[in-house]
Structure 1
Amino acid sequence: MMKKLLPHFLVLLCLPLFLNSSCKKEDEPDNSNDPSNLKITVTLPEGTGNVIVEAVAENAVEYRFYPVTGVEPIINSSGKFEYLYVNPGTYRIEVRAYGVSGRYVKKEKQFTLAEDGEISIDQGYSTPLEYPGYQRVWNDEFDGESLNSANWKFETGAGGWGN
């Protein structure tokens, strides 16, 4: 009976030694080259809708700028981005700084683009009649507040064409 139990006993004795020797403590990853200290600055030039974002981080080799959720990022190595927002409103942006390992740090910022004041009719826009280096060939301006019937006529098309 002892001879039958001896192999089992040896297996049970050696099994913990074998399992313990195969367990090796994993080395801690080297995080010394990971990006850190990400700082972002957002500049809003007045009345343009253009937003300038500058990102700086230690150990960063690539920056990704997410101007709007769901939009593909703008990627570069300088950390300087420009983006044109067409509509006024509040926006949240995200910037990620990537290191050589592929790991990144990120920061988000929120800003508001105010709606520009409306332009009244008396302000309007004016366009110069002449530009340097160009000569005006034709001008289509009105005399006063109504059409000058000597220069203009109404054509209705008698129901066949026109307005």
Structure 2
Amino acid sequence: MSTSALPHAAAVAVAAAAGSEPVWIVPLHGHPYYDHVRLKRIFDGDDETCHRVVIVDARTLLECADRNDTDYVLSPVDNWHGGKIRGIRAFLDPGNPQIPAMPYVTIARRRGHGLLGWLGLEREGVVGFRNGQHRARYLAHAGAQAFPVEVHEREAALLAALCGA
């Protein structure tokens, strides 16, 4: 997916060296340890045709993830123990030779809470993480306004509509 068509195109850049896979550069605002993070796709080759990269608004994605009552939902980064924070910070460090994979998510719609939801007039997005929930929460905590996630192609349009940057 090209980031040039997105309203927040400057929020995430895609870089590719000749003969290598694309790398998404996610700027961090106000993070004292480094100013950006590099992410790559989880799926490549034949799997690429079944999965899409969607640039999501960090805050909106986590709001949808917090609605998930069936999967494991992490607490905010401020509640993590110091070792967990240091570990994810080291893992995402752009000086690390290994480039981390972007989060992999699923999304669905369900009835909203309250009378309008009960009547079927209000629906809300619910995100589940297949992989990368720590990464996503730390990126938002570190000041990323938007970042790429990978999603199955059947869910890509819904994710872009509900959580897209």
**Larger strand proportion, structure 1 or 2?**
1
**Larger helix proportion, structure 1 or 2?**
2
What is the TM-score normalised by the length of structure 2? 0.22
- Higher relative CO (Cα under 8 Å, sequence separation at least 6) belongs to 2
What is the TM-score normalised by the length of structure 1? 0.22
Choose 1 or 2 for highest CA Rg. 1
